[in-house]
Amino acid sequence: DAGVTQSPTHLIKTRGQQVTLRCSPKSGHDTVSWYQQALGQGPQFIFQYYEEEERQRGNFPDRFSGHQYPNYSSELNVNALLLGDSALYLCASSFGSVYNEQFFGPGTRLTVL
Amino acid sequence: RKEVEQDPGPFNVPEGATVAFNCTYSNSASQSFFWYRQDCRKEPKLLMSVYSSGNEDGRFTAQLNRASQYISLLIRDSKLSDSATYLCVVNIGTGNQFYFGTGTSLTVIP
């Protein structure tokens, strides 16, 4: 049973560029959440997708957008990259109730130069 | 005020010691609570959910105090392999958002 997978593992971009990160949830899970984790900080909630719609959004600008496909996989897009967007981006999947525990993928480490 | 606050530590304890972490949350509507463990440069992994009645899993005990709005994690007989960052997570009942604390760093010393 595959867990949550993310791609790519690492990414280096320059300011102003755009990036797309991908996530496949754990088998049987229908909900995907995205988090940004800066060094030395806890993960910060970006948004959550359920039934192909954004169900909840954290305090992130519109430069951060996402998508969920019918097979529950998801993408995180970030436009007009800033140096401060450098972080570990984590995808987490869960099933059903919003109160259920989330399982995390290994993350994508984004560096913006 | 942050939704979830943890003492960042670091906690440095000898093998075999008992160590406790506390985490406070600000929203009384919070519905579910978890402890996650995160190793250096790895993803967070679920350690245990926290129930109102308290729960135990081997050497780990988690408790919830709704009146004072805090959760705790107790680790008994610490092992070297327990060295990690422990993240407190709270789900606010009115939304679908999980709030993470900044994490508490634990190092178990031989």
Tens digit of each residue's pLDDT, chain A (113 residues): 679 999 999 999 999 999 999 999 999 999 999 999 999 899 999 999 999 999 889 899 999 999 999 999 999 999 999 999 999 999 999 887 666 788 999 999 999 99
Q: Do A43 and B100 touch (CB under 8 A)?
A: yes
Does position B1 have pLDDT exceeding 80, yes or no? no
Q: Which residue of B42, B43, B91 is in closest CB contact with A99?
A: B91
Q: What is the CA angle B56-B57-B58, rounded to 5?
A: 115
pLDDT for the residue B95: 57
For residue A31, how far is the Cα from the chain centroid?
12
Q: Do B43 and A107 touch (CB under 8 A)?
A: yes
pLDDT for the residue B97: 77
Counting one residue from chain A and one from chain B, the pairs whose CB atoms sit within 8 A come to 50
pLDDT for the residue A99: 65
Which of A87, A67, A104, A52 has the alpha carbon at shortest distance from B39?
A104
Contacts of A102 (CB under 8 A, 6+ apart): A33, A92, A93, A94, B46, B98
pLDDT for the residue B9: 85
Does position B96 have pLDDT exceeding 80, yes or no? no
B→A interface, C-beta within 8 Å:
4, 31-32, 34, 42-46, 49, 87, 91, 95-103
Cis before A8? omega within 30: yes
pLDDT for the residue A97: 62
Amino acid type, B6: Q
Q: Which residue of B43, B99, B100 is in closest CB contact with A105?
A: B43
Report, in angstroms and rounded to the nearest whole number, the Rg of chain A calculated over CA atoms. Answer: 13
Does position B93 have pLDDT exceeding 70, yes or no? no
pLDDT for the residue B43: 95
Please check whether residue B2 is in contact with residue B97, taking contact to mean a CB–CB distance below 8 angstroms. Answer: no
Q: Do B43 and A90 touch (CB under 8 A)?
A: yes
Structure tokens at A84: 């401060």
pLDDT for the residue A29: 92
The residue-averaged pLDDT of B54-73 equals: 94
pLDDT category of residue B8 using cuts at 50, 70 and 90: confident
Burial of B16 (0-12, 13-18, 19+ CB in 10 A): exposed
Give per-residue pLDDT as tens, B19-57: 999 999 998 888 889 999 999 989 999 999 998 888 999
Cis before A25? omega within 30: no
Distances (CA, A) of B23 to A14, A38, B71, B82, B88: 38, 20, 5, 18, 6
